[in-house]
Amino acid sequence: MIVRNEAGKDVARVRSMEDGTFAIELAPGRYQFEPQPVDGMMGTAAPIEVIVVAGPDPEPITVSYDTGIR
């Protein structure tokens, strides 16, 4: 996952853990999370717009990959 700030600058890269979860700390602001292709998996996930606010409780983000199989 590539994380970009409002200016489009890469501010972080994060990989998911074995169970598919990930965690990252960011300063308050507006970010775009750009999921990357997964080896062996068809399809891609759309970028996710995220607004980070100060506070103790993180908000979960769900990333869904569309394989196109119906």
Q: Which residue has the higher pLDDT, 67 or 37?
A: 37
Give which of 61, 59, 52, 69 is closest to 16, Cα–Cα: 61
Domain range for 47 is 2-52
Q: How many domains does the chain fold into?
A: 1
pLDDT at 12 over 90: yes
The answer as to whether 62 is a domain residue is no
The answer as to whether 63 is a domain residue is no
The answer as to whether 64 is a domain residue is no
The answer as to whether 44 is a domain residue is yes
The answer as to whether 12 is a domain residue is yes
The answer as to whether 67 is a domain residue is no
- What pLDDT score does 2 carry? 96
pLDDT tens-place string over residues 20-31: 888 898 999 999
- What pLDDT score does 43 carry? 79
